[in-house]
Amino acid sequence: MPHNELNVVALVSVGAHPTSGRARRAEQDARAVELGLRLAGSKLQVVHAGDPHAEALRAYLGMGLDELAVLEQGAGADALPALGAYLSGAGAQLVLTGSQAETGEGSGMLPYLLAERLGWPLVVGLAEVERVEDGFAQVLQALPRGQRRRLRVRLPFLASVDNAAPVARQSAFGPARRGQLRAEDVVVVDDALLSEAQLQPARPRPKRLKVIKAKTGAERMKAATAKASGGTGQVLKDLPPQAGAEAILKLLVEEGVLR
C-alpha cells in the first residue's frame, strides 16, 4: 500500500562485503531504502553522513533514486549531530535506518541515540508499515522465528530494519550513473570517543554449544521448528518506573550482563 503523502527519510551508510571487504551498499540500509521506496516512491529522501565522493553510494542511486543527500564530513566525525540537525529540519514523519553499520564503529547505537536526541519513538526491526492515519502508523515489528507484533506508533518516529524487512531491489547501472550525490555543508563535530578510544577488531561472540539430543529426523525437525520457549519471561504492566527499572536490573544481573 503506497503512502505517497508520507514523508519518509532513509539513512544509509557505506557497507563492506563480508568475504571480500570491498565497499558496497550496506545490506540492511539497502532494505531500509527498499521499504522507503515502497512507502513513498520517488519522494523518498535518502541521506548519508560522510564522503560525497564514495562510489559505493551510487549503488543506492541505482535502486531508482534521482539524488542522495550527503552531509559532508570526514571519517573521524560524529554522524549523530549532523543527522539530528538535518532530520529536525527535514519535516520527516518516518526515518528508516539499518540496524547496524557494516563498517566503522558498527555499534548499532545510532538509531537509539538519534531517537533519543529527536525525542521520537523507535521501532526496532520494522517489517512492514500497514497503515498510516490521523498521525499514527500501524506497523508490524519482526520478532525472532518469523513472529510479528502489530504496533501503533505516533508520527514522527524512527525505525530500524533488519533482515526481516523486504529484500532490496537490484541496483541498476543506468540510474546509478545518472543519479546525483548532492553534498551539503554541515557543522562537523568530531567524535570524542573515537579520538580517545582505540579500535580493535571485534572478537566473535561466544556461542552456546548446541547439543543435539534428537535421535531421529522427526525429533530434529521438531527441535528446529519449535517455538522459542524462554518460559520464565513475564510481562510487567502498570508498574511505577522505579519498580520496572529494578526488575530489569535484576534480570541483567541474573543473565550476567551486569556484574
Residues making contact with another protein (CB under 8 A): 17, 19-20, 22, 24, 62-64, 169-175, 177-178
Q: Shortest distance, CB of residue 92 to another protein, whole angstroms?
A: 26
Question: For residue 10, which amino acid is it?
Answer: A
Q: Which three cell numbers stand for residue 39?
A: 512507502
C-alpha–C-alpha distance, residues 179 and 196, integer Å: 38
H or E segment and range at residue 181: strand 180-185
H or E segment and range at residue 157: strand 157-161
Q: Shortest distance, CB of residue 173 to another protein, whole angstroms?
A: 4
If the CB atoms of residues 62 and 125 are measured against another protein, the closer one turns out to be 62
Q: Shortest distance, CB of residue 20 to another protein, whole angstroms?
A: 5
Q: Shortest distance, CB of residue 25 to another protein, whole angstroms?
A: 9
Question: For residue 178, which amino acid is it?
Answer: R
If the CB atoms of residues 27 and 116 are measured against another protein, the closer one turns out to be 27
If the CB atoms of residues 48 and 58 are measured against another protein, the closer one turns out to be 58
Q: Label residue 8 left, alpha or beta by phi (over 0 means left) and psi (-120 to 50 means alpha).
A: beta
If the CB atoms of residues 62 and 111 are measured against another protein, the closer one turns out to be 62
Sign of CA dihedral 131, 136, 138, 143: positive
C-alpha–C-alpha distance, residues 67 and 65, integer Å: 6
Residue 87, class by beta-carbon neighbours within 10 Å (0-12 exposed, 13-18 middle, 19+ buried)? buried
Q: Shortest distance, CB of residue 61 to another protein, whole angstroms?
A: 11
If the CB atoms of residues 174 and 231 are measured against another protein, the closer one turns out to be 174
